[in-house]
Structures are given as C-alpha cells and as structure tokens.
Amino acid sequence: MNLTLVVVAVLTFLVVAYAVTLYNGLVRLKHGVGKAWANIDVLLRQRHEELPKLVEACKQYMQHERSTLERVIRARGAVADARAQGDIAALGAAETGLRAGLGQLFALAENYPQLKADESFRHLQQRISGLESGIADRRELYNEAVNLNNVRIEQFPDVLLARAFAFGPAALLQFDEAQKADVDLRALFG
C-alpha cells in the first residue's frame, strides 16, 4: 500500500511539474510577442516624431509637390492611429501607404538639388531610412515570435493548457501586396 501511494505521489508530482513547465513556456512565448511588438513600437514612435521635420524641410523647397507632402502627413496619422489601437491589420495597410508616400517624396526630392544639398534634409532622410530598416528587421522578429506562439498553442499537449488558460493566437504584421511589388520608377519620376 505504501509503495502504491509513493508511486501515485511521484506520478502526480511529475504530471504537475510537466504542466507547470508547459504553462511557463506558453507565458514566455506570449510575453515574447509583446516584447517584439514593443520593439517595433519604439521605432514607429521615433519615425513618427521625425516625419513632421522631414515634411517641414521639404515644404521650403517643394511648393509644387503639396499633394505628396499631404499624403505623407495623412499616412503618418493612419499609422499612429493603428499603432495606438494595437490593430495589426490596419497598421500593415497604413504602413503600406506611408512607405509609398515616403518613396515618392524621396524620389521627387531628386528634382530639387537645393533640397538634396540641405544638411537637415539629408540627416532626416538618413535617419528615416535607418528607422525603416530597423522596422523591417523588427517586423521579422515580431512575426517569428507570433509564429512560435501560434504553433505552440496548437500543438498537443500545449493546446490543452492554452485553451484552459485562454492563450490565444497573435496576429502577424503583414503588408499589402502593393508594398511587396517592385517599385515603378517611371511612376515615381513621371
């Protein structure tokens, strides 16, 4: 009788320890997704703060390109709204619009030698381009964290704990097909 009780106690302990290990792994993945998003958010905020400075620098030289400048401003607002709401799908769409606007702005800047020579503009262009690269890198890390989380909560036996403790899937940060397509340089310079 004592041996049976010991075996049951050991098995119970092992099952509980295994469940705790699985639960802690799920928690770690969930927080990994949050951390990856926070890293993107930092760069989005920094870019958000730099864009008005870039538009202001361009306004002095590009009076005939007002629609492009306004497009960048509107897209900046859409990104800020989506980021504030934590709406990953809307953020992807807004990012597509912002990147297109910035691409057009930088392409049009080629037509303004004084603007290209302006130290403030060059610094802001380099800063924003660096932030864009950082956002792309962080987006990749975020999507990897999301993928790990989503796969794990669907695998057995993790799925049992995930359902019991309401661990849900996270959304991938995806961009429209237009963003992935090759850039039409004729349209940018036309």
* Residue 106 or residue 12, greater confidence: 12
Q: Are 57 and 115 in contact (CB under 8 A)?
A: yes
Among residues 103, 99, 70, the alpha carbon closest in space to that of 175 is found at 99
Nearest CA to 131 out of 72, 43, 51 is that of 43
In this prediction, residues 8-12 reach a mean pLDDT of 94
In the prediction, which pLDDT does 176 show? 61
Mean pLDDT, the chain, as a whole number? 85
pTM of the model: 0.74
- Let me know: does 135 contact 173? Beta carbons within 8 Å: no
Where residue 121 sits, what CATH number does that domain have?
A: 1.20.1440.20
CA angle 127, 129, 133 (to 5 degrees): 115
Query: Tens digit of pLDDT for each residue in 109-164?
Result: 888 888 878 888 888 888 988 998 899 899 999 999 999 999 999 999 999 999 99
Radius of gyration for the alpha carbons in the chain, expressed in angstroms and rounded: 24
Domain count, the chain: 1
Sign of the four-CA dihedral 103, 106, 109, 110: negative
What are the pLDDT digits (tens) for 63-101?
777 788 888 888 889 999 988 888 888 888 888 888 888
Residue 86 structural domain? 2-189
3-state SS string over 110-130? CCCHHHHHCHHHHHHHHHHHH
Give me the pLDDT at residue 143, please. Answer: 94
Residue 21, pLDDT > 90, answer yes
